[in-house]
């Protein structure tokens, strides 16, 4: 149900305004970004090519706005393709859309193939990324000759949502407001207990089907028995899970369980009410779909295999001849998963420096095998892998921690089906720091494009977000007009 007549006109009929996906094709360009924003000596004025995507087909030079997506831990095109709400908002507020790629991810590698060398990786940080975005915003205004009076609103989901928030906190001179979706702001700063994540994944499964959790536990028990009960059983495990080779109990056990657990992480994060292809090609409500697979099959271990196929066999069930768990998952400083390739390396480093990520599973509060990841284990891993010592107080000290009462113009949205939700801002902090909880919402569902099968709760969340976006734009223009009136008055009095 729409909030009022204004929203009814602008948003309840939004689907008829949405342009064809082909109309949202981006232009890709590169900006010569400073390699180091904070050291004037070591790199002097050296730059790297930072990629950004833009679309300005709906932009109004006089009354428009700049909608700026703060890029996450990956190739920026993936976020462009999965953040359709920006295109919907841009149509309604005549926005100029920019998606900025994060340094050390995608094609924005400051030192090319040598970016991850020990001498270079230290330039990967939240602080450097925020400075990149600030410089890019300044450049966009100059390059495209934008009206300097138009407001800038940042958007982001997950890590991008954290960065969107930080942009408003650190650069309020540039950013008028921030939409921060599924941003675990409190957990990454160490302000909530670390054991929430896998407990929440289990609760999501329990809320779907309690018997499903029982069968998943049985599946893990069956796997454990076969893995460590001699060669014959190990061969049976290889056959049942269609693994590419026979596994060793002690050597391969942690990798196997992390790989399986990661599949459940992806299913719960992408538990959207329609088919999606974000982290994997998944059916509608994939948590429910995975439980349905368990219900139909004869043994729990067979069910686990089908669930693994749902995630790792992205072209459909049964297409892969076998699973190579070492190429499909990398153990890292983030137990919820770092991803693969260079992007995975970059996130692993940030998990050792910028962020405090969740602890492992304990098989007591959650349904997974016991795979602990304590603060001490993290410290030892980071020292051995990157030769760095985590500074766990850093984010809370430098980015306001849980003292947001004097900030303004930030919307935090979280879905109650998102395992990251307990790490976010879940209550209104003030009249302009707003929390939205989306019933039945998975990871940054509200940032995805509007669809005919959207739930009422996500439609309502977007209505609220649109209302605040319009309010920020209006307030920004009113402030400029008031400032202009004051200047005119001063000039007039001086002339007199």
Active site residues: 158, 418, 443
Nearest to 217, CA basis, from 279, 286, 264, 280:
264
The strand pairing partners of 152, in sequence order, are 66
Distances (CA, A) of 100 to 204, 216, 286, 379: 33, 40, 30, 31
The DSSP result for 302-347, as a single string, is HHHHHHHHHHH-TT-TT--S-B-HHHH----S-TT---SHHHHHHH
What does the DSSP 8-state code read for residue 177? E
Widest Cα–Cα separation across the chain:
99
Query: CA-based Rg of the chain, rounded to a whole angstrom?
Result: 24
DSSP-derived pairing of the beta strands 65-70 and 27-34: unpaired
Angle between helices 210-227 and 300-312 (to 10 degrees): 100
Provide the token pair at 430. 């003030």
Q: Give Cβ neighbours of residue 368 (< 8 Å, ≥ 6 apart).
A: 198, 201, 202, 220, 257, 261, 264, 361
C-alpha–C-alpha distance, residues 175 and 207, integer Å: 39
Exposed, middle or buried, 118 (CB in 10 Å: 0-12/13-18/19+)?
exposed
The DSSP result for 383-425, as a single string, is HHHHS----TTHHHHHS-TT--TT--SEEEEEETT-TTGGGS-
The DSSP result for 108-156, as a single string, is --TTGGGTTSTTTGGG-SHHHHHHHHHHHHHHHHHHTT--TTS-EEEEE
Nearest to 188, CA basis, from 371, 301, 354:
354
């Amino acid at each position: 149900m729409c909030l009022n007549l204004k929203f009814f006109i602008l948003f309840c009929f939004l689907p008829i305004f949405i342009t064809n996906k082909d109309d949202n094709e981006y232009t890709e360009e590169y900006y010569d970004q400073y390699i180091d924003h904070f050291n004037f000596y070591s790199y002097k004025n050296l730059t790297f090519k930072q990629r950004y995507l833009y679309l300005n087909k709906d932009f109004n030079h006089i009354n428009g706005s700049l909608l700026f997506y703060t890029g996450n831990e990956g190739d920026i095109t993936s976020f462009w393709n999965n953040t359709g709400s920006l295109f919907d908002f841009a149509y309604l507020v005549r926005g100029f859309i920019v998606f900025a790629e994060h340094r050390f991810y995608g094609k924005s590698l400051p030192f090319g193939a040598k970016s991850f060398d020990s001498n270079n990786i230290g330039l990967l940080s939240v602080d450097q990324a925020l400075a990149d975005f600030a410089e890019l915003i300044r450049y966009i205004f100059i390059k495209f000759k934008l009206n300097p009076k138009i407001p800038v609103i940042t958007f982001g989901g997950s890590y991008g949502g954290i960065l969107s928030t930080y942009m408003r906190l650190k650069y309020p001179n540039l950013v008028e407001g921030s939409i921060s979706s599924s941003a675990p702001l409190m957990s990454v700063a160490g302000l909530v207990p670390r054991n929430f994540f896998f407990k929440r994944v289990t609760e999501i499964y329990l809320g779907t089907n309690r018997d499903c959790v029982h069968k998943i536990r049985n599946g893990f028990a069956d796997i454990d028995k076969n893995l460590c009960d001699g060669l014959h059983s190990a061969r049976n495990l290889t056959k049942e899970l269609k693994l590419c080779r026979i596994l060793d109990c002690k050597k391969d056990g942690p990798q196997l369980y992390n790989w399986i657990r990661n599949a459940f992480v992806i299913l719960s994060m992408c538990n959207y009410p329609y088919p999606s292809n974000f982290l994997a090609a998944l059916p509608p409500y994939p948590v429910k779909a995975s439980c349905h697979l368990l219900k139909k099959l004869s043994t729990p271990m067979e069910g686990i295999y089908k669930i693994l196929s749902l995630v790792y066999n992205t072209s459909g069930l049964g297409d892969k001849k076998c699973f190579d768990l070492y190429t499909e998952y990398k153990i890292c400083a983030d137990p919820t998963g770092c991803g693969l390739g260079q992007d995975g390396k970059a996130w692993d480093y940030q998990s050792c420096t910028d962020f405090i990520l969740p602890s492992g599973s304990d098989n007591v509060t959650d349904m997974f095998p016991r795979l602990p990841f304590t603060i001490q284990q993290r410290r030892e891993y980071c020292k051995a892998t990157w030769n760095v010592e985590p500074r766990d107080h850093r984010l809370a000290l430098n980015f306001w921690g849980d003292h947001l009462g004097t900030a303004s113009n930030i919307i935090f949205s979280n879905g109650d089906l998102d395992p990251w939700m307990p790490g976010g801002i879940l209550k209104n902090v003030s009249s302009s720091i707003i929390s939205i909880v989306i019933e039945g919402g998975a990871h940054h569902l509200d940032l995805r494009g509007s669809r005919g099968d959207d739930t009422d709760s996500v439609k309502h969340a977007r209505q609220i977000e649109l209302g605040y976006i319009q309010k920020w734009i209006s307030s920004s223009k009113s402030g400029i007009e008031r400032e202009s009136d004051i200047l005119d008055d001063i000039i007039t009095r001086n002339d007199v």
